[in-house]
Amino acid sequence: MKSKKNTKFRLYIFKSNKHIYAHIINDQTNKVVTSSSTISKDIKNEIKSFKNCTIAEIIGQKIAIKLKKLGIKDIIFDRGQNIYHGQIKALAEATRKEGIIF
């Protein structure tokens, strides 16, 4: 008997040398539902440098606001190969401050 698939959405964090990306992924359909990054129009105009903890906090807040608009409160946090430190930690804590549970 097959068990039900997880219905939670996944917050996947990707860091390149210059940018930070946060994607909300629906694993049942394998589609990106929404995303936020340092190259997003709304964030790009606010920032001067592209990759630091302050910017990671802004991205965390923006992705949390987008999740609230979609009615999603409970997610899975996927940091990939990154350790939970610095920018990843700042992004995660900012998302939690906005009321998203993981």
3-state secondary structure the chain: CCCCCCCCEEEEEEECCCCEEEEEEECCCCEEEEEEECCCHHHHCCCCCCCCHHHHHHHHHHHHHHHHHHCCCEEEEECCCCCCCCHHHHHHHHHHHCCCEC
Residue at 32 is within a domain: yes
CATH number for the domain that contains residue 79: 3.30.420.100
Q: Is 30 inside a domain boundary?
A: yes
19-45, pLDDT tens digit by residue? Answer: 999 999 999 999 999 999 999 988 888
Domain that holds residue 32: 9-97
Distance, CA of 46 to CA of 90 (rounded, Å)? 18
pLDDT at 3: 41
Residue 92 belongs to a domain:
yes
102 occurs within a structural domain: no
User: In this predicted model, what pLDDT tens digit does every residue of 54-91 receive, in sequence order?
Assistant: 999 999 999 999 999 999 999 999 999 999 999 999 99
Q: Answer yes or no: is 36 within a domain.
A: yes
Task: Count how many domains the chain has.
Answer: 1
